[in-house]
């Protein structure tokens, strides 16, 4: 890593990624904490201020709306996924969704949303470095079958962002058979906090690195759009929030 980051930021960051990284995304005892909001068909409302409805209804493109610390994260929620867990403390946020019928122990695809409170104040932490640190943790799980494809470093809703594809051909764990895992990672530097959206897929193990399937993963990245961030004023409801109507200046 060419650019040094303070030890405190690294410790917080690594501790956070451990919750969501390849070897630790197994929440046997976690339960999804939100309820159902019947007034918002087609819109998923997550967190303490709202509920959720099924993502499997037909005829609409579901939207996931999650208040995470200083901002509300909104993106298109792929059809067929169901939220299964939500964890939050004073510094970190983690929410996971899997395909209907799957669980945190046994899944073929998982969408993970994370937040790291206050991380944007670290001037040395860029979305690219954030993504590289994530990739390094992935690599530790499979040094001989690791692969990485950097996608785009752009702005999402006016915010600096980076995306990449990382894969492990073979992940070996003591309690389950070995498997492969690939993750599409989107990192966004918000006003105050950092956010990520991850789309992971597991499959049969491979002792050689997995070849990047450009058509599949670019389609999945596109299906998450539009991704928006908007203010999260304390004490105000988020149901029906419109993140396209900006009340802030573009960074």
Q: Which two tokens stand for residue 250?
A: 């573009």
Measured distance CA(62)–CA(55) in Å, rounded: 6
Write down the pTM of the prediction: 0.78
pLDDT for the residue numbered 244 = 62
pLDDT for the residue numbered 242 = 66
Q: Which two tokens stand for residue 187?
A: 């990192």
| β-sheet with 81-88: strand ranges across | 81-88, 92-99, 109-116, 194-203, 179-189, 159-171, 146-156
pLDDT for the residue numbered 241 = 63
Say if CB 125 and CB 114 are below 8 A apart.
Answer: no
Query: How many Cβ atoms from other residues are within 10 Å of residue 93's Cβ?
Result: 23
Q: What angle do CA 55, 192, 242 make, to 5 degrees?
A: 40
pLDDT for the residue numbered 141 = 86
- Closest residue by Cα to residue 15 from 112, 143, 114: 114
pLDDT for the residue numbered 25 = 39
HSE-CB of 129 using CA atoms within 13 angstroms: 19
CATH number of 7-24+35-231: 3.40.1000
pLDDT tens readout for residues 133-161: 889 888 888 999 999 999 987 889 999 99
pLDDT for the residue numbered 184 = 96
Say if CB 147 and CB 169 are below 8 A apart.
Answer: yes
pLDDT for the residue numbered 240 = 58
Residue 208 Rama label (left phi>0; alpha psi -120 to 50; beta):
beta
Question: Tokens 């070897």, residue?
Answer: 23
pLDDT for the residue numbered 226 = 92
Which residues of the chain have a pLDDT value below 50? Answer: 1-15, 18-60, 245-251
Q: Which residues of 184-218 are buried (b: 16+ CB within 10 A; e: fewer)?
A: bbbbbbbeebbbbbbbbbbeebbeebbebeeeebe
pLDDT tens readout for residues 47-70: 433 333 333 333 346 888 999 999
* Separation in Å, CA 112 to CA 94, 96, 199: 7, 5, 7
For the chain, domain boundaries: 7-24+35-231
pLDDT for the residue numbered 234 = 78
């Amino acid at each position: 890593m060419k650019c040094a980051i303070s030890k405190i930021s690294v410790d917080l960051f690594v501790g956070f990624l451990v919750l969501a990284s390849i070897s630790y995304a197994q929440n046997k005892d976690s339960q999804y904490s939100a309820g159902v909001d019947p007034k918002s068909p087609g819109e998923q409302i997550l967190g303490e201020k709202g509920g959720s409805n099924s993502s499997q209804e037909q005829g609409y493109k579901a939207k996931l709306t999650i208040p995470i610390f200083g901002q509300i994260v909104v993106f298109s929620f792929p059809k067929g996924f169901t939220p299964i867990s939500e964890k939050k403390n004073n510094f970190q946020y983690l929410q996971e969704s899997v395909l209907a019928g799957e669980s945190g122990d046994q899944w073929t695809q998982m969408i993970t949303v994370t937040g790291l409170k206050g991380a944007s104040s670290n001037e040395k932490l860029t979305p690219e470095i954030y993504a590289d640190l994530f990739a390094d943790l992935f690599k530790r799980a499979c040094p001989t079958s690791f692969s990485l494809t950097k996608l785009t470093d752009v702005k999402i809703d006016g915010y600096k962002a980076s995306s990449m594809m990382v894969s492990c051909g073979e992940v070996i764990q003591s309690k389950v058979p070995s498997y492969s895992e690939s993750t599409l990672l989107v990192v966004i530097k918000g006003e105050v906090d950092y956010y990520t959206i991850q789309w992971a897929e597991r499959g049969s193990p491979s002792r050689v690195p997995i070849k990047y399937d450009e058509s599949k993963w670019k389609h999945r990245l596109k299906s998450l759009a539009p991704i928006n961030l908007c203010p999260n004023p304390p004490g105000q409801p988020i149901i029906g929030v419109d993140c396209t109507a900006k009340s802030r200046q573009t960074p």
